Structure 1
């Protein structure tokens, strides 16, 4: 378990990275034979990712909702994420899901992929252990130049000036 970092921290990660969110939604609780294997498939893939960081996986966190599970993952690059998606373990799980999902609508899955290439991201953690992007990258204390969300996104004064100039046109 990660120790609590006192005070205000922000995440820092060098270079571009990818945020990938994947989730499973149980639509029909009684159709256990259709949705349980989908949930079971995630464990071995996550184990593989944590044991083989050279694949480009930086970190992840799982969240349980009323109808399923979502996982937020951080990757070094889109190419590495895509390469993993076409690898044996993931491809087998995906093919298995497709076979089972044709039998009905008992389980659904989704994913979202966000490419962060220009360094415009921000985060804040107050009295929290390293979490999310702060665990994938590193935590740094919030101080001068990182007080506001705009400063942490690197949009700062230049962006404000451009927005003001554009609104005068």
Structure 2
């Protein structure tokens, strides 16, 4: 559902934004990149079914470079999932290194950011619930929340 009002999002407390993706460098080598692409849905299914792991929400975009934005409750929980031998991630990572390694056919990347109140802001207009707005909660961006500076300040001085 499209929300026509100006909204801003918040997520209580500290959280982590994790950007992860892959780039198909050689589209003809489907046997190389398809297993990499297929690993993420398995991980997401596992994460959505086990909220105690700290995963909150994800959004994904598909093109030659596939990008996913994930929201996590804490850095510790994200890192624990990455190292968990019983979870989907570690075997997928090991499989990537064995099948592809540095042969150049498929690129993978990630970036990790810690966020806390007062260090992030958002605005959504004519959008369905999306990203941080879906991971957390949304409020009408009114009064002092009309500008990016005002939204940042609202986190530091909630009214």
TM-score, normalised with respect to structure 2: 0.91
Residues 98-138 of structure 1 deviation map (CA, whole Å, 9 limit, x = unaligned): 11123721101000001013531110001211100000000
Is 1:68 aligned to 2:93, yes or no? no
Give the match's secondary structure for 2:127: strand
How far is the alpha carbon of 1:93 from its aligned partner? 0.3
Asked whether the 8 Å contact 2:9–2:139 carries over to 1, the reply is yes
Give the match's secondary structure for 1:153: helix
Distance in structure 2 (CA, Å) of the matches to 1:155 and 1:112: 27
How far is the alpha carbon of 1:33 from its aligned partner? 1.3
Distance in structure 1 (CA, Å) of the matches to 2:126 and 2:5: 5
Residues 66-122 of structure 1 deviation map (CA, whole Å, 9 limit, x = unaligned): x13110000110001001111231100000001112372110100000101353111
The residue number in structure 2 matching 1:165 is none
Asked whether the 8 Å contact 1:8–1:142 carries over to 2, the reply is yes
Asked whether the 8 Å contact 1:120–1:155 carries over to 2, the reply is no
Find the structure with the greater CA-based Rg.
1
Asked whether the 8 Å contact 1:15–1:119 carries over to 2, the reply is no
Give the match's secondary structure for 1:115: strand
The residue number in structure 2 matching 1:115 is 114
The residue number in structure 2 matching 1:32 is 30
Distance in structure 1 (CA, Å) of the matches to 2:112 and 2:142: 31
The residue number in structure 2 matching 1:79 is 76
Aligned ranges for residues 1-169 of structure 1 at < 5 Å?
A: 3-65=1-63, 67-87=64-84, 88=86, 89-102=88-101, 104-154=103-153
Unmatched 5+ stretches in structure 2: none
Distance in structure 2 (CA, Å) of the matches to 1:149 and 1:29: 40
Give the match's secondary structure for 1:135: helix
Unmatched 5+ stretches in structure 1: 157-169
* CA RMSD, Structure 1 to Structure 2 (Å): 1.7
